[in-house]
Amino acid sequence: MSQLLEMLSLPLVACIMMGGILGYSGIHVLKREVIFIDIALAQIAAVGSIIAHLAFEAEEGALLSYVFSFSCVLSIAMFYALVRRRVIQISIEAVIGISYAIAAAAALFLIGLAPGHVHVEEMLAGSLLWIQPTDVIWAFIAFSAIGACFYIFQRPLSTISQNYQDAVTEGVRVVWWDFLFYGLMGIVITIAVRAAGVVVVFAFLIIPATVSALFASRWAARLLIAWTVATISSIAGLLFAYYLDFSVGPAITLFLGSALVIATLLSRLHKAGSIKVTR
């Protein structure tokens, strides 16, 4: 039992933190319909750290590597904000999806200049089990700061998420607020993906927010549901992975996915029930 706690307490703390910040931003992401944002920003951050490595031999996790990742992510945030405002013919989701392909090709291209073998799988699945206490502390500081930003600038950000065109006609400075939103998202995702891998971060971002939309429409209620789902799925996933010897990341994702399936069935039953009552 004590061994179990020792192994899983740090990953669980990391999961709860990620569930907190990603659960909130996931609601924004769903409202804006920019589902691809996690995968695209993670890929762009990876390009930044590859450039840092090729140019200055910076190791992964070094300060310089983070600086490069963050600069790439912030530039792309400005790009998304501008394109969203000025190109109305295609959806921003399509632009983000394509930017992912371009960034992935750029990463392969840069590596192709100096050929080598690359472990794709580990980056996808992450290594949450081996997270270090210092990583958790740094992530806590960064996530708290970003959470505070989200809280302070809640009003303009959610106005834009709710309806972009309305925000434009109301005179909100959409490009700057969008830049802030995508920039903050970029920093959260860069940090979270280094710890947990792309898939887990994607699942934490989209699934709890989707579950919450099934049962509530007010922000506070949705947040509460999203956080509960994220926490319960994390605990279940960690235990499943521990006892049956699977990778932690995929296991947690699987439980988040099952939570969504169960929630969908429950909401169907609930609706069917309420229709009967009203009749």
Residue 127: helix, strand or coil by DSSP? coil
Residue closer to another protein, measured from CB, 8 or 200: 200
Residue closer to another protein, measured from CB, 149 or 254: 254
Residue closer to another protein, measured from CB, 110 or 149: 110
Residue closer to another protein, measured from CB, 7 or 35: 35
DSSP secondary structure string for all residues of 147-215? HHHHHHTHHHHHHHHH-HHHHHHHT--HHHHHHHHHHHHHHHHHHHHHHH-HHHHHHHHHHHHHHHHHH
What's the gap between Cα 168 and its chain centre? 26
Cβ of residue 148: shortest distance to another protein, in angstroms? Answer: 26
Residue closer to another protein, measured from CB, 6 or 57: 57
CA distances from 216 to 18, 225, 265 (A): 22, 8, 15
Cβ of residue 13: shortest distance to another protein, in angstroms? Answer: 22
Cβ of residue 3: shortest distance to another protein, in angstroms? Answer: 22
**Degrees to nearest 5, angle at CA 249 with 247 and 253:** 120
Residue closer to another protein, measured from CB, 17 or 251: 251
Gap between the Cα atoms of 80 and 257, Å rounded:
29
- Report the first-to-last Cα separation within the chain, whole angstroms: 52
- Determine contact, residues 167/87, Cβ cutoff 8 Å: no
How many CA atoms lie less than 13 Å away from 176 in the CB half-sphere?
5
Cβ of residue 144: shortest distance to another protein, in angstroms? Answer: 26
Cβ of residue 253: shortest distance to another protein, in angstroms? Answer: 5
Q: For the chain, what's the residue count?
A: 279
List interacting residues with another protein (CB under 8 A).
Answer: 30-31, 33, 35-36, 42-43, 46, 49-50, 53, 59-60, 65, 82-83, 86-91, 93-95, 97-98, 101-102, 104-109, 111-112, 114-125, 193, 198-199, 202-203, 206-207, 210, 213-214, 217, 246-247, 249-251, 253-254, 257, 260
Gap between the Cα atoms of 260 and 242, Å rounded:
22
Cβ of residue 268: shortest distance to another protein, in angstroms? Answer: 11
Residue closer to another protein, measured from CB, 60 or 144: 60
Cβ of residue 2: shortest distance to another protein, in angstroms? Answer: 26
Token pair of 196 as six digits: 């947990």
Gap between the Cα atoms of 178 and 153, Å rounded:
11
Cβ of residue 43: shortest distance to another protein, in angstroms? Answer: 5
CA distances from 134 to 61, 131, 191 (A): 12, 9, 13
Residue closer to another protein, measured from CB, 257 or 273: 257
Sign of CA dihedral 42, 48, 54, 57: negative
